[in-house]
Amino acid sequence: MSHTTEKTEPAQPSPDTVLAVGGWSRHARVLALASNGAVAFALVDTNGDGVEVNLEELYLGEDDAWHAGMSLGAGEFIALRGRDSAYVLGFGENPDGVGWAYGRADRAGAAQVTMDGRTIPITIAESLWWVWVQPVDESR
């Protein structure tokens, strides 16, 4: 008898949860979302016009509910510079040492970007934004 191990996706808040936990208005929308099962980062179009974008951190509490972490302005709409390109617009670490990055691209789908000398896989959303969070097994 052979056993196959299915790779399960880490827990991730829904876009509605991101907006509710962040206290966003009904006009806000989630542009991209990534989670490592313990921490999630989302890019939120704050009023639905595609201009003001915030990076929202959520963490999974001991109560198995998502809670608000840091929130910072991710910038305004960025014009894209090329064909089949993905750009890193910001990256850093949260206070627990979990890395994050976000950016824009000119097409949706799987891609890779180089950040701080490291190549990371990303998934570009239909909004042409992407966000990445460091997997749990790579955190300090």
Q: pLDDT for 21-43, tens place per residue?
A: 999 988 999 999 999 999 999 99
Q: pLDDT for 103-136, tens place per residue?
A: 988 889 999 998 878 888 999 999 999 999 988 7
Mean pLDDT, residues 6-26: 84
Spell out the alpha helix ranges (H) of 1-140: 15-22
Q: pLDDT for 48-63, tens place per residue?
A: 887 788 999 999 999 9
Q: How many residues does the chain have?
A: 140
Q: From 23, 25, 61, 57, select the one nearest 40 (Cα to Cα).
A: 57
8 A C-beta contact, residue 105 and residue 124: yes
* 3-state SS, residue 67: strand
